[in-house]
């Protein structure tokens, strides 16, 4: 039953090289942190995190679901200090391309509701800083999500567009 499934997933994680497991876990936590910026992690945000872990983390679906759920639980219960520590650990393990992929995924997760709130935007800015990514990288990726920013959407609504 479920216990055997959980054991298989744990065995899968334990079979990874430790550095790879830490990279995947810290990436998952960073995505959950972005999702939790508005103090809620929606089903849509979880689905995106799970898909990202399968695509970029190389996890099978059951493992991705478990890792995403574990990251969600941690994001709900840990402090801002832990946010910094985990994101910095990811930054030390990841390549530049992986950092950029996670930052872009943070925007995708934040936009899952159709709009990126000011709180979510601020959290993603902080994540970019902790990843050591420059303002130019942040600006370039943020531009991809310009129309999803709640502030842009509010201006457009006010202007009647």
| pLDDT 10s digits, 89-114 | 999 999 999 999 999 999 999 999 99
Q: Give pLDDT tens digits for 7-57.
A: 665 677 788 888 888 889 899 999 999 999 989 999 999 999 999 999 988
Taking residues 64-79, report their average pLDDT: 87
Question: What local confidence, expressed as pLDDT, does residue 7 receive?
Answer: 67
DSSP annotation of 22 reads: H
Of all residues in the chain, the percent with pLDDT exceeding 90 is 59
Q: Could you read off the pLDDT of 110-137 as tens digits, one per residue?
A: 999 999 999 999 999 999 999 999 999 9
Q: For the full predicted model, state whether its pTM sits above 0.85.
A: yes
pLDDT score at 2 = 52
Query: DSSP secondary-structure letter at 95?
Result: -
Distance of alpha carbon 4 from alpha carbon 27, whole angstroms: 26
- At 52 the pLDDT is 94
Spell out the alpha helix ranges (H) of 37-144: 43-55, 61-77, 80-93, 96-110, 118-130, 135-144
Whether the per-residue pLDDT at 1 is higher than 60: the answer is no
∠ CA 20-24-27, rounded to 5°: 135
């Amino acid at each position: 039953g479920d216990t055997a499934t959980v054991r298989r997933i744990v065995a899968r994680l334990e079979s990874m090289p430790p550095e790879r497991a830490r990279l995947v876990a810290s990436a998952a936590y960073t995505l959950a942190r972005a999702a939790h910026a508005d103090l809620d992690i929606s089903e849509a945000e979880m689905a995106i995190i799970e898909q990202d872990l399968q695509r970029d983390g190389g996890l099978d679906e059951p493992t991705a679901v478990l890792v995403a759920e574990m990251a969600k639980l941690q994001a709900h219960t840990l402090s801002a200090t832990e946010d910094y520590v985990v994101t910095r650990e990811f930054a030390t393990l990841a390549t530049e391309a992986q950092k950029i992929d996670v930052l872009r995924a943070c925007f995708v997760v934040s936009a899952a509701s159709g709009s990126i709130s000011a709180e979510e935007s601020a959290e993603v800015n902080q994540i970019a800083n902790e990843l050591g990514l420059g303002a130019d990288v942040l600006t370039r990726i943020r531009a991809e999500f310009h129309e999803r920013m709640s502030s842009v959407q509010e201006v457009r609504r006010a202007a009647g567009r």
